[in-house]
Amino acid sequence: MKRRELLRGALAAGLTGEALTALTDTHTSFDQTLATHPADLSDLEAAAESYGYHGQAPARVLADLVTDFADIRPLLGIPQPVATRVRLCPAAGQMAGMTAIVLHDLGSRREARARFSTAAHAAGESGGRHCTHGCWPARRWRG
């Protein structure tokens, strides 16, 4: 409500710098809420496809996975076009599945089960049964 009043007052006074700034901020905020940029989405998909830790320290891979996975979370929390969401969910699922594998290998089986469950949920959201590499199941994992 305050934003509306501020904008109305600024516009009533003419298209001043303050009014234009308010219009620009509103427009930018709306654009960011509508959709993820295709380049960002492609980067996240590429990151999801690239994970593996043969020859790498599992803790380092886990840290990278958690960082990339955290980048996807806010994108799924805002309205997205269906085509974008269908691309985000498999990327999230692949990262959750790989996180589960690393956690399992580190002996954190309870945490691994939770991540496999997240991966399965993401598969259901995207309509798929598994990632392109078969690394995460669409059914509940029982490790």
pLDDT tens-place string over residues 47-100: 888 887 777 888 888 988 988 888 888 888 877 788 888 888 999 999 999 999
CA gap 90, 21 in Å, rounded: 38
How is residue 132 annotated by DSSP? Answer: T
CA gap 89, 97 in Å, rounded: 12
Mean pLDDT within 111-136: 73
Cβ atoms of 93 and 119 closer than 8 Å: yes
What local confidence, expressed as pLDDT, does residue 131 receive? 44
Tokens matching residue 35: 């959709």
> Could you tell me the pLDDT band of residue 116, with boundaries at 50, 70 and 90?
very high
Q: Which residue has the tokens 């904008």?
A: 7
For 78, residues 6+ apart whose C-beta sits below 8 A from its C-beta are 33
Cβ atoms of 120 and 137 closer than 8 Å: yes
- The answer, as to whether pTM is greater than 0.75, is no
What local confidence, expressed as pLDDT, does residue 93 receive? 92
- In angstroms, the Cα distances linking 110 to 49, 106, 114 are 25, 11, 7
How is residue 15 annotated by DSSP? Answer: S
Average pLDDT value over all residues in the chain: 75
Mean pLDDT within 42-49: 86
Q: Amino acid identity, residue 92?
A: A
What torsion, rounded to 10 degrees, do the Cα atoms 36, 38, 43, 45 define? Answer: 90
